[in-house]
Structure 1
């Protein structure tokens, strides 16, 4: 698994969070398509958060590149009537009693999508989850040098003397021994030790988070497999269970009235006392509901199109009402008898079911006509999610070990080939640098990436990467050269802030610079005239246009010389 998320503005634009660059957030309004006069057209809002992680599925002895997409939808529903502090009302009208949500993922043709997890499944209690993302990067370099020498000399000597005296018949006698020894030793040693080591560690932990508490309500989920799509959709139904269980008693007549059993009618009010019981607190004061699902998206192999994903959302809401009123007549005779006698009051209930639509929150200042609402698509996102860019990991700090590099050797291009129309798409092995290019040639097996920019030809490169700091210095580095006599001109746009140009006028192995060009993207030396910062937190984009350089000496009668640009490697370091 290769692992390494800005709030929606008033104009409903979608941006990347600076503190979580792997997710996107969108906010839209939930508007009733056929709102009755007594209700508010905007019923609530839905806040969607989408987190994307690159994932390589190595099950079944395979290595399948894919993306894990976690979708969290938060539904904030507004109450239709304000709470009355003065007295208990004689009727409760148009409170949210039941709600249906249909969430459908949309992917391009040829893309496979699998539903991995979803919640809530069956819920009538409290749910607590967490969403957080933490990352760590560490780089250590150790250099150690030890040298030394030692010399030792040892001298030892000794003397032995022994005398013996005695007497014999022949006379006195004596004997003696004298000995000595001497030892000399010398030891000399020299040692030299060099230790060089480096280590790079990187860790990312991604967990999700949200909380929801339901009182007197329940939630049920269903997986729906459409016949015309491979993408399974999800259907959630939230509804009140007490005091009026909408899952059991919701059959309506033509006037939206609901016939309740006597025990439930008695629970909702006291006819003799002339008061009605309120609905659940969630129905009176509004709801804050959360739904979560995780999909695995598998793009087509060697597809040059960016992997994208979008969602559709729609459903129905049920607005409940109950009050004290006359019972419905069973027949014309019973109606006449009821009219002549004092009517027996009962607790009456009704349920008005309405379809709703999703629309940008900024347009809620003006209520749109019915036909315009129906024509609007129920899309949750203005533009589909670009899974490849969202899943990019931030560059792991300075130096050459951050992994934000792409090489274009023949074996790499063989695995990520240029398409016949000249397009190419690649991501670095560490998932920190993405490239999308156009205008390149189908290469031979022994050449790097090549583009013919002669006679007005243009090749383009778009680089994408993410930066999570404001302190480190970064540079864009090319290893490239020209393949013919004419030189090549690079026009480089950095985040739309500045445009710089570089001339490539050396062949391979010429120029004394190892065919390397460096452009400093951030210089943090405040005392230097070159202090600048072209980068921004989160996603950065660099667009490179490659054209033929203006000729040094032009003659209209001379044919245009060939002009080919060769790119061997790219890096942000």
Structure 2
């Protein structure tokens, strides 16, 4: 059977490479399986219900047991080449959600599998300085002459006037312009399509309508899905036109190129899970994958009447494998990573007014809530419906969040207090198993922000500081808080709010 070790994961995805082995524990292929989880509120039908979108992708690679050899060859038989691939997926979810199979890929086509993904990141900055300086000077000279003459009786009259003017002007100018600019661009795209050379594919569902299956088969030169009637000897009875495609002039002709080189098919399915009823346990989903490969053979028979004999594996002898996924926590995988622009707003949880996934009760069992921004998950035990513990049961809190960077200084803020007249409470904290410490809470409600608030620095990137440290990892982080009484007197402890912030 296939290995079912824990799946490695990124922010939203669980995945694993699986070696496919048959019942004799002999490997016959490989599979790459991944699951992606997205959390959201389903507001259809004027409602508001927790829901998840789960996408499964499986890539199955099965080589020909006899590797292809380029160059001239003399072969009168082609044995045990992949001819049929059958795959099915069964989904199981806790808490009884309504499950809708939204789509499957590929559906049904006769004749290309191609998946593509592109990602580009661009960033740039500009800086320019423009200086302008200059001076001007001008001199203007003006001249004029006015002459008049005439007669006054018999006496001639004459006059002449001249004028001269000069002006000077000068000036200087200087200017400086600075400009800075920056830009960034990030693009992500994915597409998938399929066309299969000489093979056919068929997508289907079971009677429940939520469990998909796929059937791939060689279509040329021998359509193994259509022409599979067995004779009394166990050989396949082939029509004359199919024999003509497998035999010519005393030669056995090869199967399809996919059958010669090996098959590599990708299948995806997408489900919507909506929780209409109260959630009483962690929302989990698990998958069971059934993968089977049937091989075929054809060879020269040595007779003129039936020049080709062909065989096809039966279900009892086909290579089959079952792959089980672990139970995947939908709420954990569905958490969105923190963003610097809205860390506090997206993670702040006030327990007195929150939309609980699993509300606390007087039984003081597991309770769970996810922040409005889907970035922080809090699971707790030992608290009643007011998030107060009397320490009659083990009291602990587990916080889960995802960090996408290595440079922001994150802090964890707690608003909490003890009951009047009680002993102090010790809050032991642990971050990712990398660092630990203890807080002492000795203030009752209403003693101000300093008395009722505690802050744990999860990362301090100031290398000049004696407190320089980084308890976080890029990826999923877990902070565990364990509350204990620091004395024998009856003590109550209330956790009012939590938030992730920036220091």
The TM-score, its normalising length taken from structure 1, stands at 0.70
Q: Which residue of 2 aligns with 1:33?
A: 23
Give the superposition deviation at 1:114: 1.0
Give the superposition deviation at 1:13: 3.7
Q: Which residue of 2 aligns with 1:546?
A: 483
2:307 is the counterpart of 1:346:
yes
Residue pairs, 1:315-394, within 5 angstroms: 315-326=291-302, 344=305, 346-353=307-314, 354-358=317-321, 378-381=322-325, 383-394=326-337
Give the gaps of 5 or more residues in structure 1.
Answer: 1-9, 36-40, 136-202, 328-342, 359-377, 444-448, 552-559
8 Å CA contact 1:24–1:50 kept in 2: the answer is: yes
Specify whether residues 251 and 388 from structure 1 end up closer, same or farther in structure 2 by C-alpha distance, changes over 3 A only: same
Give the gaps of 5 or more residues in structure 2.
Answer: 122-184
More strand by share: 2
**Aligned partners of 1:250 and 1:438: how far apart in 2?**
60
**Aligned partners of 1:63 and 1:430: how far apart in 2?**
15
8 Å CA contact 1:80–1:94 kept in 2: the answer is: yes
2:396 is the counterpart of 1:460:
yes
Specify whether residues 512 and 22 from structure 1 end up closer, same or farther in structure 2 by C-alpha distance, changes over 3 A only: closer
2:206 is the counterpart of 1:224:
yes
Specify whether residues 55 and 252 from structure 1 end up closer, same or farther in structure 2 by C-alpha distance, changes over 3 A only: farther
Select which of 382, 385, 395 maps to 1:442.
Answer: 385
**Aligned partners of 1:256 and 1:520: how far apart in 2?**
73
2:250 is the counterpart of 1:274:
yes
Alignment root-mean-square deviation, CA? 2.7
**Aligned partners of 2:323 and 2:59: how far apart in 1?**
15
Q: Which residue of 1 aligns with 2:433?
A: 496
**Aligned partners of 1:255 and 1:306: how far apart in 2?**
55
**Aligned partners of 2:90 and 2:355: how far apart in 1?**
36
Select which of 369, 374, 378 maps to 1:431.
Answer: 374
**Aligned partners of 2:187 and 2:334: how far apart in 1?**
14
Q: Deviations over 1:98-140 (max 9, x none)?
A: 11111111122523211011111112343545557999xxxxx
2:375 is the counterpart of 1:418:
no
8 Å CA contact 1:326–1:344 kept in 2: the answer is: no
Give the superposition deviation at 1:274: 2.7
Residue pairs, 1:56-455, within 5 angstroms: 56-84=41-69, 85-108=71-94, 110-130=96-116, 209-210=191-192, 212-226=194-208, 232-253=210-231, 255-270=233-248, 273-299=249-275, 301-326=277-302, 344=305, 346-353=307-314, 354-358=317-321, 378-381=322-325, 383-397=326-340, 401-409=344-352, 411-412=353-354, 417-422=359-364, 423-443=366-386, 449-453=387-391
8 Å CA contact 1:394–1:465 kept in 2: the answer is: yes
**Aligned partners of 2:444 and 2:238: how far apart in 1?**
88
The TM-score, its normalising length taken from structure 2, stands at 0.80
